Amino acid sequence: MSDIREALGSLAAARAALDAGSLSAADLVEAALTRAQDHAALQAVVGVRPRHARDEARASDERRAKGERRSLVDGIPMLLKDNMVVAGEATTCGSRILEGFVSPYSAGVVERLQSAGAIVLGRTNMDEFAMGSSTESSCFGAARNPWDPSRTCGGSSGGSAAAVAAGIVPAALGSDTGGSIRQPAGFCGVTGFKPTYGRVSRWGLVAYASSLDQIGPFTRSAADAAALLSVIAGHDPRDSTSLPVPVPDYAAALTGDVSGLTIGMPRECFVEEGVEPGVLESVREGVRELEAAGAKVVEVSLPHSRYAIATYYLIATAEASSNLARFDGVRYGHRAEGATDIDDLYRRSRSEGFGAEVKRRILLGTYVLSAGYYDAYYKRAQQARTLLRRDFDEAFAKCDVLVTPTSPELAFPLGEKNDDPVRMYLSDIYTVTANLVGVPGLSVPCSPAAGMPVGLQLLGRSLEESTLLRVADAFQRRTDHHEKRPPEPV
């Protein structure tokens, strides 16, 4: 493995190379741009900003020459899911409706990355408006899994997962509304982290479902995730749902010691039915590893988790139907030609601009909020959310961390679930609960099955990201699944 490929493989390696002076930020940016091209067939990256990235790299190198370093990620190129706005750059959310849109302002996470010296290299592919579990509904075409390009990389942040897995960049950001960071991380064999709801600012994240959306990192390791999370986490006075609490030193939590911690296995998540062979066995093996490291393992129950997918789809689509009303062809984005009146303009612009899955969810959300159905669907889902939260409170009274598979399946072949929305939705069965109750969730690679990565999901108490990172890091100190790299393209 060449030095440069090694350096783009993780934040720790990139930082080490920069600190040793063996590579410059400019070298990293050039190499990342080249790798993005070499991996073009993955369709993981949908846009790069080479000129700005080179300028930023030069500035970082100049700082470093003067002995300054803004943060642990200074000079390191990263990619953002295409639903976080960057001033002066396009943002599409994988949708035709945002064609031509250039944001006049930057997202909170972008400001934080840039003031930490990180280099925003470009944008990654995603399911249209983050609605999907396979990154197939993007207007740019499907992203592919670096481990097997005939398979999906998961979604909706599939491009970010694939880009980190393929080593195009050492880290990327994604967003997670029902599992959209963790599931693709599991499919691609990288570490994906959804922090506590409110931990990372949503300012400048194009909303899918506001009460569930959360930005988080894709990295090679939990240690890298800790480094990146400490850059992007923290209160933002522009986001009413941003938590006004201090951000702990995540790196300091990585002690490697999990003795004294109790890990709960929700009984409902370890039922063979509906789970692909090999998945549960890999996860159980991972749990045994943690047990061997000194953690105590107990069985717990989340009795309402069987309602989670239904609850999630009602809440998420209701919020989405309203959040996506602003895409109307009036102030930005796609406008249909030749509309005869304003309603015609709305209908045609939106019908031309949105893909089938987005329309399906907008219609479902409109339906569940409409007069006569609100109580039966939306309100009931909010009540189910309360019951689910109580389940978690009870479970966390018995354990510090919950462990489950990230997904009930391995990365599936492209096109396999496109005709069956409900089957696609069930892909998120283990992940949606964390969004509904707001707790942090993390996926780390455990032992592969049938040659494909398997994700082990850890869920923690609200704001206890440190505990999750500690457990994940301890696991990665004892295993090498996260270090495995997919084959290079021929």
397-436: which residues touch other proteins (CB under 8 A)?
A: 421-422, 425, 436
* 322 to 361: interface string for other proteins, x by CB under 8 A: x-xxx-xxxxxxxx---xxxxxxxxxx-xx--x-x--xx-
Which of 381, 411, 471, 474 is close enough to bind other proteins by CB under 8 A? Answer: 381
Q: What is the DSSP letter of 215?
A: E
Our finding on whether 321 is near other proteins (CB under 8 A) is yes
Task: Compare residues 53 and 314 and give the one whose CB is closer to other proteins.
Answer: 314
Task: Compare residues 255 and 351 and give the one whose CB is closer to other proteins.
Answer: 351
**What is the C-alpha to C-alpha distance for residues 301 and 186, in angstroms, rounded to an integer?**
23
**What is the C-alpha to C-alpha distance for residues 452 and 446, in angstroms, rounded to an integer?**
10
The nearest distance, CB 424 to other proteins, in angstroms, is 11
Region of 102-110, 247-255, 288-296, 469-477 interacting with other proteins (CB under 8 A): 102-110
Q: What is the dihedral of CA 67, 71, 75, 81, to 10 degrees?
A: -170
Our finding on whether 396 is near other proteins (CB under 8 A) is no
* 66 to 95: interface string for other proteins, x by CB under 8 A: -----------------xxx-----x-x--
Q: Which residues contact 106 (CB under 8 A, 6 or more apart)?
A: 85, 86, 87, 114, 204
Number of residues lying near other proteins (CB under 8 A)? 101
- Mark whether 462 is an active-site residue: no
Active-site residue, selected from the candidate residues 106, 156, 230, 407: 156
For the beta carbon of residue 1, count every other beta carbon within 10 angstroms: 9
441 beta partners: 194, 459
Region of 16-24, 250-258, 368-376, 401-409 interacting with other proteins (CB under 8 A): 368-376
Our finding on whether 8 is near other proteins (CB under 8 A) is no
- Mark whether 427 is an active-site residue: no
Residues 446-475 that bind other proteins (CB under 8 A): 462
Active-site residue, selected from the candidate residues 71, 81, 137, 230: 81
**What is the C-alpha to C-alpha distance for residues 219 and 201, in angstroms, rounded to an integer?**
19
Q: What is the DSSP letter of 379?
A: I
Task: Compare residues 20 and 371 and give the one whose CB is closer to other proteins.
Answer: 371
* Closest C-alpha to 214, from 466, 361, 387, 432: 432
The nearest distance, CB 30 to other proteins, in angstroms, is 30
Which of 140, 187, 313, 396 is close enough to bind other proteins by CB under 8 A? Answer: 313
For the beta carbon of residue 387, count every other beta carbon within 10 angstroms: 12
The nearest distance, CB 308 to other proteins, in angstroms, is 10
- What amino acid occupies position 482? H
**What is the C-alpha to C-alpha distance for residues 338 and 124, in angstroms, rounded to an integer?**
33
Task: Compare residues 222 and 345 and give the one whose CB is closer to other proteins.
Answer: 345
**What is the C-alpha to C-alpha distance for residues 159 and 149, in angstroms, rounded to an integer?**
13
**What is the C-alpha to C-alpha distance for residues 29 and 121, in angstroms, rounded to an integer?**
8
Region of 141-149, 162-170, 370-378, 395-403 interacting with other proteins (CB under 8 A): 370-378
Q: Which residues contact 63 (CB under 8 A, 6 or more apart)?
A: 69, 70, 74, 117
Which of 203, 396, 412, 475 is close enough to bind other proteins by CB under 8 A? Answer: 203
How far are the Cα atoms of 20, 218, 432, 486 from residue 224, in angstroms, in the given order?
Answer: 18, 9, 24, 19
Residues 207-266 that bind other proteins (CB under 8 A): 207, 209-211, 237-244
- Mark whether 180 is an active-site residue: yes
Which of 264, 438, 440, 453 is close enough to bind other proteins by CB under 8 A? Answer: 438
User: Would you name the residues annotated as active-site residues?
Assistant: 81, 156, 180
